[in-house]
Amino acid sequence: MHYTLCDLFSDLTQNAVEAGADHIAVALEETDRSITLTIRDNGRGMSPDQLAQATDPFWTDGIKHPGRKVGLGLPFLIQTAESTGGSWNIESKHTGTTGTTVTACFDLANIDTPPVGDVTGFFRHVLTFEGTYEMEIVFSAERGGKRWSETIRRSELLDALGLGEAGSFTDAGSLALLGRYLESLMEEYYG
Ligand X SMILES: Nc1ncnc2c1ncn2[C@@H]1O[C@H](COP(=O)(O)OP(=O)(O)O)[C@@H](O)[C@H]1O
* Nearest partner of 123 among 52, 31, 47, 189, judged by Cα: 189
The piece of 39-47, 113-121, 131-139, 146-154 that touches ligand X (CB under 6 A) is 39-47
> In angstroms, rounded to a whole number, what is the distance separating the alpha carbons of residues 139 and 168?
22
Which residues are CB-neighbours of 152 under 8 A, at least 6 positions away? Answer: 123, 127, 136, 137, 138, 139, 182, 185
Q: Which is nearer to ligand X, 48 or 191 (CB)?
A: 48
Q: Which of 100, 103, 113, 174 binds ligand X (CB under 6 A)?
A: 100
Q: Which is nearer to ligand X, 73 or 86 (CB)?
A: 73
Q: Does 8 bind ligand X (CB under 6 A)?
A: no
Number of residues interacting with ligand X: please give it, by CB under 6 A. Answer: 20
Compute CA 74 distance to the chain's CA centroid, rounded to the nearest angstrom.
Answer: 12
The piece of 57-65, 79-87, 106-114, 138-146 that touches ligand X (CB under 6 A) is 57-65
Q: Count the residues in the chain.
A: 191
Q: Which DSSP category does 189 fall into?
A: H
Which of positions 71-130 make contact with Mg ion (CB under 5 A)?
73
Q: Which does 86 bind (CB under 5 to 8 A by kind): Mg ion, ligand X, none?
A: none
Q: What does the binding site for Mg ion look like in residue numbers (CB under 5 A)?
A: 15, 73
